[in-house]
A and B are shown apart, each in its own frame.
Chain A
């Protein structure tokens, strides 16, 4: 088990390094550099920056160094938590991200919980009652959920709710709580506002989890160990929950790591449509404004989140599956 953890840690570090290189490349892809952009923005407000002043700035920011030196300086600053400056928000990148990080994680985690609570039981039912009317309904709804983009569902739902109840389904806080300090009332208000975005953001994930769970379980239900348990006189539901469902859940556990960053990037358009204060919404703004430090930090952050998530889900998988845990002992 220890060798397993050490091996996974090394893999994770290598992957994080690779992601950081890719993010750095992306940040440096647009023509010109940070100073060019700076000159352009200053020029737009009427300030003219002279050539030697620009050169001076390039020296300060190390833009004349070889590319690998620039990378080392950049990654060192990132690790120290200095993420650069966002021109679009006119604030440090770190401050921009931190502002909406809690909302973003709340929305993503809420969706994961929703996906699990809805997707797993329906998936189990669909597999055990294969080709039953319930299975067909679940399959049909599943494909609908997969096929319709989140933002379209959001638009339709927001329109219907506004049209029928006159409630504006945007934002995460009511106006009276927006700047208010945290209280029970504010938390309740937030929870109410979160319900719909969580469900909408979770539809695609739920639909695919239903399909995955159903397929996994259908495979497992045919395995000899199920027949052995049945021959012992265990009731059908008990044996299904104890054996094949346990087997079918393992791959689902490792999938959760991928769901999380997918939800954060998936929330981009949804947040825009519903005006949710999330990192995803800021990401879209940063991309359209070519705010490279902010977008780079978000790309890097999402990438690292995936790797860390995978690392933890591997540990979780090893913890529940003795075949992995005892490997190499």
Chain B
């Protein structure tokens, strides 16, 4: 594992946190139109992803982080629909486009999906078809996004399998996914996502279904892939330990909204939002006594149909201001050059 950071490499395009974002999500709203009513799964989300860096999106189950990721590629399943917002994407050519201008099934959207922006998923075991060989499934991506011949595609796929650390790659190409272990499958999925040289990789909880040792290996692999291929990563997780390991910036989501965002060090050193603080204090520390009760966030996540008024976090908040938080909704505002927060404690 190399120790050089992403910014050490010299490339033509500007990269790092100071460079222009490769993806800018603005006011994204993705709602689910169910028989019981509209669920605002993503309800006005804003964040930027900078080239060559990792944006970690954190939140509890059901906070809308996965739907946000799927919205970028416009692969939200019915009855979900993107109802508002912009997803500005700076293409390989430098041209800036709003992805939401492209219809979900248009050729232009499909050229970006899996080509310039790839995605890997939470459950490697079920994310492949058991009826097709692995080779068949990786070839599908190459066939769609390259002009290579059949033999060249096979060579390239074998090369990628080797790069993600799968032994006997040319033999594994002919095997079915159920012959791979969970860790191998996640590596294989990374190879499948990387083989088209994407500029952005969206990783939707890629380590959640894996054991801790394999998790660490996959995180290392992703960081190596990022360095070698000059690629931005949107990393979705509920695991703050993983965020500390891999992210450059963090966006914290609660009930479909961004409550805080900023550089990863600021987030861990000086979290602003009461929710972020509560999350961080509920992590067991080395210094916690063995019989001590771990602090937890009081209450539970509200039912999406039954969203609290005002700030959605107010019923669980330690800093709840009566008559303010339960009535008005806070806006995401900058508190300093790098950190944004959505809380009345920071509004003038």
**A233-B144 in contact (CB<8A):** yes
Shortest Cβ distance from B123 into A: residue: A224
Q: Does chain A have a CB within 8 A of B105?
A: yes
Q: How far is the CB of B335 from chain A (nearest CB, A)?
A: 36
**B105-A231 in contact (CB<8A):** no
Q: How many residues of B contact A (CB 8 A)?
A: 33
A9 to B137, CA, bound (A): 34
**A228-B189 in contact (CB<8A):** yes
Contacts A231-B113, A234-B140: A322 and B176 contacting too (C-beta < 8 A)?
yes
**A323-B130 in contact (CB<8A):** yes
Q: Which 3 A-B pairs have the closest CB atoms?
A: A233-B114, A232-B114, A233-B110
Shortest Cβ distance from A228 into B: residue: B127
**B141-A232 in contact (CB<8A):** yes
Tell me which residues across on chain A come within 8 A of B111, comparing CB atoms. 233
Q: How far is the CB of A108 from chain B (nearest CB, A)?
A: 29
Q: How far is the CB of A71 from chain B (nearest CB, A)?
A: 45
Tell me which residues across on chain A come within 8 A of B127, comparing CB atoms. 224-225, 227-228
**A234-B144 in contact (CB<8A):** yes
**A235-B110 in contact (CB<8A):** yes
Q: Does chain B have a CB within 8 A of A55?
A: no
**B75-A231 in contact (CB<8A):** yes
Q: How far is the CB of B148 from chain A (nearest CB, A)?
A: 16
Tell me which residues across on chain B come within 8 A of A233, comparing CB atoms. 110-115, 141, 144-145
* Prevailing SS type, chain A contact patch: helix
Q: Does chain B have a CB within 8 A of A236?
A: yes
Tell me which residues across on chain B come within 8 A of A323, comparing CB atoms. 130-131, 176, 178
A228 to B70, CA, bound (A): 11
Chain A, range 213-243, C-beta contacts under 8 Å to B: 222-225, 227-236, 242-243
Contacts A223-B126, A225-B127: A231 and B176 contacting too (C-beta < 8 A)?
no
Q: Does chain A have a CB within 8 A of B121?
A: yes
Q: Does chain A have a CB within 8 A of B346?
A: no
Identify the A interface with B (CB < 8 A).
Answer: 222-225, 227-236, 242-243, 246-247, 320-323, 326
Shortest Cβ distance from B177 into A: residue: A225
A242 to B176, CA, bound (A): 15
Shortest Cβ distance from B111 into A: residue: A233
A222 to B127, CA, bound (A): 11
Shortest Cβ distance from B179 into A: residue: A326
Contact indicator per residue, chain B 122-144, by CB within 8 Å of chain A (1) or not (0): 11001111111000010011001
**B118-A231 in contact (CB<8A):** yes
**B140-A321 in contact (CB<8A):** no
Q: How far is the CB of B198 from chain A (nearest CB, A)?
A: 11
Question: Which of these, B105, B128, B130, contacts A228 with CB under 8 Å?
Answer: B128
A85 to B333, CA, bound (A): 95
Tell me which residues across on chain B come within 8 A of A326, comparing CB atoms. 176, 179
**B121-A224 in contact (CB<8A):** yes
Chain B, range 237-268, C-beta contacts under 8 Å to A: none
Most buried by B among A227, A235, A236: A227
Tell me which residues across on chain B come within 8 A of A243, comparing CB atoms. 129, 131-132
